[in-house]
Structure 1
Amino acid sequence: PLPPAYALVATDLDGTLLRRDDTVSPRTRAALGLAAAAGARHLVVTGRPVPGVRALLAALDYRGLAVCGQGTQLYDAGAGRIVRTAALDRELADAALGKIEAQVGQVFAAVDQDGPAGRTLTEPGYLMPHPSLPAH
């Protein structure tokens, strides 16, 4: 037998898999079902951190791996655990932000705390790209 044309289908969440109200259209569900029936695996890739996608993936009955937090977290949705995480050194991040601000002016930043319960922290002036994402 021939291998499937596509062994892996990777999708972003916001503006790709999800509509603005965080739902998946029937057409998209059907397309994912056809891909799965043809033998392809689905991989979610998102800038959202794990705490911002855990309930959403559960509601979608997604049980695979998800690359989250701008690529810093690998989440196993089926097991409900973070498999791998990478954190940016605070001093390095502060130095980088300072250099950017020296070139372009004031920057409003947000950071995601590490860990499965990490919160998204924003400073005044930062505009969340998606209103349903929790921020502090």
Structure 2
Amino acid sequence: MIQDGDKILLIDRQKDDFKGFIPPGGCVEFPESIVEGAMREVKEETGLTVRNLMFKGLSEYVNPVSKARYMIFNYWTEEFDGELLENPPEGNLYWAPIDEAEQLPMQKSFKRRFPLFFEKGTFEIHVTWDHERNEEGSVTITRT
């Protein structure tokens, strides 16, 4: 999550079945660290170079049937340089007012964690995947 005053940078992602407003991010490439991967993904998706990332929390999906685990490491910063890309690869970039952002059509997992970025401390969101229904099952949010 990149914050600039009272706004945050979001991507209006309209690709495949993963549509909605989300922050920049993506997969870590071996052998880079989690933070290096986050910084690289922001650069690739926005053109911005971020610094001093603050860890805010962990979101994880677990599937007890397939024994799979998918983890999202959530970071926040207000330190960045550069210019936004004119043709970003993941969708249009939008500086959204924080107090209006939750009204945007966000992806479900991001909507759940969005307010947690602005609270003190860190969070962990644990989602158990319902394998048979192919949808989220139980959700537990822990604040620390």
TM-score, scaled relative to structure 2: 0.21
Which is higher, the Rg of structure 1 or of structure 2?
1
TM-score, scaled relative to structure 1: 0.22
- Which structure shows the bigger proportion of residues in strand conformation? 2
Higher relative contact order (CA 8 A, sep 6+): 2
- Which structure shows the bigger proportion of residues in helix conformation? 1
